[in-house]
Amino acid sequence: MEAAVEKVVAVIMVGGPTKGTRFRPLSFNTPEPLFPLAGQPMIPNLAQVLLIGFYEERDFSLYVSSISNDLKVPIRYLREDKPHGSAGGFYYFRDIIMEDDPSHIFLLNFDICCSFPLHNMLEAHRRFGKMGTLLVIRVSAESANQFGELVADPVTKEVLHYTEKPETFVSDLINCGVYVFTPEVFSAIQDVFSCREDIVRATAYFDFFKRISKDFVRLDQDILSPLAGKKQLYTYETMEFWEQIKTPGMSLKCSALYLAQFNFASPHLLATGDGTKSATIVGNVYVHPSAKVHSTAKIGPNVSISANVRVAAGVRLISCIILDDVEIKENAVVMHAIVGWKSSLGRWSRVQASILAEGDYSSKLGITILGEAVTVEDEVVVTNSIILPNKTLNLSVQDEIIL
């Protein structure tokens, strides 16, 4: 059994540039999957990792090289020549995925935030002994239709029915976008390809079917739905946190969730300080070792400070993400906000969400977001606003999108 565990491969579907539009302005210069939460990129670290997407390879080369060297983990980025769909892209690189003859394959979507109970999932999957196991969670009936809903046998955990974003309520049990499969999943995808080719040939004279892409296959509608009820798919239900990262604001919420997890699982990653020789730290805070934070600053809770950040005297940071190379000058305040790379905040400036709202993570203007290289001048207040890259603000703004 141990030998089989050693041959588990993880595949992470990272999409492409067209998938990151909802993440603007932060996705203009950095691929959405590489955006850091709690100081860590959104990609879980496993023994062997393959990233599949259609971003340019140069967007991932630095990250892949760095994380591979630091963690001694073999990681490769595989670029699709075009979008093939969540199952199609997976199948497209099947020969590379199967190079080491793995016994099991994890498949993950990049835009989710959870505790990734991969070890427990794999144990459950081995007990089921079938093609696939889905990570699932229960949500409110009102929000369930935003996701793939499924019905599972309460005793055997078999997936009996699966439907993607149904118009009417089916179940409060939803698909979390984390799977473990046996290699037989490739045969199931191949069956869809074969059926698709037959349809295209048989109906070639209809314009509608001419537009069917025979090599575009979706995991949910084309694979999971048909396999439901056929004793091939089973569920592992998580009782811990799970969120889908649909907006930059949600990344702020998820950063706080990961920081809380660090508190239990990896407390050495969190900063400490009492305001004497180092800054005052309140709650869960991550500070990159290269950051310089003045001893009179007060940081936290739920703050992530990235590489080469400079935080001056008297600064107050609450519930925020500060990205690489940001300078925050004396007595500035940042609350419920994301400050983009190489930005500069002037003395006594404020970058914040509404004081009453304290950050609405799902709303477009629920938090304040500064794109890359934004300058906020002294004493300027920026509230509930989105500022695109390379802008200079010399007047206060509220509830605005600055293009």
Per-residue confidence at 336, pLDDT binned at 50, 70, 90?
Answer: very high
Looking at residues 92-114, what average pLDDT do you find?
88
Q: What residue segments make up the domains of the chain, in order of their start?
A: 2-244, 248-402
Percent of the chain having pLDDT more than 90? 47
pLDDT of amino acid 159 = 97
Q: What is the mean pLDDT of the chain?
A: 83
The second-level CATH assignment, the architecture, of 248-402 is 3 Solenoid (2.160)
Q: Report the pLDDT value the prediction gives residue 365, as an integer from 0 to 100.
A: 67
For residues 185-200, average pLDDT: 79
pLDDT of residue 24: 43
Confidence of residue 4 (pLDDT cuts 50, 70, 90): very low
Q: What is the 3-state secondary structure (H, E, C) of the chain?
A: CHHHHHCEEEEEEEECHHHHHHHCCCCCCCCHHHCEECCEECCCCCCCEEEEECCCHHHHHHHHHHHHHHHCCCEEEEECCCCCCHHHHHHHCHHHHCCCCCCEEEEEECCEEECCCHHHHHHHHHHHCCCEEEEEEECCCCCHHHCEEEEECCCCCEEEEEEECCCCCCCCEEEEEEEEECCCHHHHHHHHHHHHHHHHHHCCCCHHHHCCCCCCCCHHHHHHHHHCCCCCEEEEECCCCEEECCCHHHHHHHHHHHHHHHHHHCHHHCCCCECCCCCEECCCEEECCCCEECCCCEECCCEEECCCCEECCCCEEEEEEECCCCEECCCCEEEEEEECCCCEECCCCEEECCCCCCCCCCCCCCCEEECCCCEECCCCEEECCEECCCCEECCCEECCEEC
- pLDDT for the residue 361: 65
Q: Which of 7-16, 101-110, 171-180, 267-276 has the lowest mean pLDDT?
A: 7-16
Whether 99 shows a pLDDT value over 70: the answer reads yes
* Domain 2-244 belongs in CATH node 3.90.550.10: yes
Banded model confidence at residue 7, pLDDT cuts 50, 70, 90 = confident
pLDDT tens-digit readout, 337-362: 999 999 999 999 999 987 555 556 66
Q: How confident is the model at residue 296 (pLDDT cuts 50, 70, 90)?
A: very high
Q: What pLDDT shows up at residue 203?
A: 53
**Mean pLDDT computed over 279-290:** 94
Half-sphere exposure of 85 (CA within 13 A, CB side): 18
pLDDT at residue 57 greater than cutoff 80: no
Total residue length of the chain: 403
Mean pLDDT confidence for 22-29: 42
The answer, yes or no, to whether residue 191 has pLDDT greater than 60, is: yes
pLDDT digits (tens, 9 = 90+) for 211-257: 556 678 889 999 999 999 999 999 999 998 898 887 777 888 888 98
